[in-house]
Amino acid sequence: MYNQWGRQPMRKDSWTLVLGIIIIGMMGYLFIPNFFKSDPTVPATNLNDVNQPNTYDPNALNSAGNPIQNSPSTNNILNNGNSNNELTTGYWILFVSNGTVQQLSVNAQEYALVQGLIESDSKGIAKITVFLIDNGQIHQFVITNETYSIISNIAIINTRSSNTSAYSSPPTAMLPTTAISETLTVSNPSTTGFTVALNPGLNGLLASNFTLLNSMGNPVTITNVRTSDNGATYAVSAVLSAGQTYTITATSTGYTFGTAQNVAVTSADYTFGTSQAGGSSAAIKETLTVSNPSTSGFTVALNPALNGLTTSNFTLVNSSGNPVTLTSATTSGDGASYTITVALSAGQTYTLTAADAGYTFATAQTVVVPQ
């Protein structure tokens, strides 16, 4: 049946109309994409209109392309001690440090530098969300770790150079209120060093964490410490004297190491004689050397060093075999050498011997006083 306008519309014509609308819509999406998209730039004064979540997902900033809704609550940070009016002028960078949004004020040059770095670093792996604010306009970017490090360093530099910087430094880690107790033991002492064991293991200690003293309480230089088992043991290198006993202590912030430990260095060079009880005993062999003779005395070197000797341990006789009284015998080298003070005659020759329980001193030494 026909009406006055022509033939009656058919169902096929309706489908043709629908198909045409779909084709036009697809062409518009392809050739005019901005027609269907919103502007990513958000005025700072309208930031409260953005729907923010009640909770913060810490993983939200670690995936590229996150929308602003997945960031920490930016409104709460901006409104906590900083009104939004502050962000409507000047240049700002908002970024996350230790789970907290930091608000950094920058100048135009720094802002341009950061913006240029973000644009040029397009081939890196973007993981971290930041916001650049240009006179009230907020721009969101997902940046690489390298660019983030540059922003963090700018914040640190600005903090050092100005006491009024808007950057809030990340909180420092708090040391434990209770010190950790360490057990320190010594093993394998020798003239080149010894081993220190720590329980529990403590990695990262240096020579400065240890203090080594000789039997007179004087410090001994530690040349090196090293560990190959994450701090369970340390090889301590130092020049030590055989037959001497040293003490070692350790210090480190947040740890206690108990009392000082002894480092007893023995000598492997023995001669065997007869003890007072008639049995066999092991005596340490000493090498005695005389130098610097003068009318006021001379120097005696002992190898290995033997600390604690006095004038009674030395016997000095003149060329006639008569004993000469020693005024003093002092050491400043932990027994490695002694200064013997005695009145001698120029041009004369004397003979020196030494004695100490558990030690032998080989043959007598000649002391020739120059004219």
Mean pLDDT of the residues in the chain: 75
Which two three-digit tokens encode residue 353?
Answer: 């011997």
- What pLDDT digit, counting tens, does each position of 159-216 carry? 777 755 444 444 444 444 578 899 999 999 988 899 999 999 999 999 999 999 998 8
Q: How far apart are CA 57 and CA 61, in angstroms?
A: 8
Predicted confidence at residue 7, as pLDDT, reads 53
The CATH number of 180-264, from 2.60.40.1220, 3.90.550.10, 2.170.270.10, 3.90.1150.10, is 2.60.40.1220
Predicted confidence at residue 18, as pLDDT, reads 62
Q: What percent of the chain has pLDDT over 70?
A: 67
Please state the pTM of the whole predicted model.
Answer: 0.33
Look at residue 314 and give its three-state secondary structure. Answer: strand
Lowest mean per-residue pLDDT among 163-172, 317-326, 342-351? 163-172
Predicted confidence at residue 21, as pLDDT, reads 72
Q: What DSSP state is assigned to residue 172?
A: P
Lowest mean per-residue pLDDT among 79-88, 93-102, 172-181, 306-315? 79-88
- Please state the domain extents for the chain: 42-161, 180-264, 271-368
Which two three-digit tokens encode residue 36?
Answer: 């269907």
When pLDDT is cut at 50, 70 and 90, the band that residue 271 belongs to is: very low
Q: How far apart are CA 102 and CA 193, in angstroms?
A: 51
Angle, CA 315 vertex, CA 310 and CA 317 arms, to 5°: 145
Q: Is 71 exposed, middle or buried (0-12, 13-18, 19+ CB in 10 A)?
A: buried
Sheet of 328-330: strands edge to edge?
Answer: 287-294, 297-303, 337-341, 328-330
Q: How far apart are CA 100 and CA 108, in angstroms?
A: 25
Greater confidence, 251 or 89? 251
Which residue in 326, 322, 306 sits closest to 314, CA to CA? Answer: 326
- What pLDDT digit, counting tens, does each position of 232-246 carry? 999 999 998 888 889
Long-range contacts of 76-83 (CB under 8 A, 24+ apart): 76/52, 77/101, 77/103, 78/47, 78/103, 82/166
- Architecture per CATH, domain 271-368, reads as Sandwich (2.60)
- Residues across the chain: 371
Phi first, then psi, for residue 76 (nearest 5°) are -65, -40
Q: Tokens 């100005």 appear where? A: 162
Q: How far apart are CA 16 and CA 167, in angstroms?
A: 62
What are the distances in angstroms from CA 269 to CA 243, 287, 303, 359? 10, 11, 11, 11
Over range 51-66, report the average pLDDT.
37
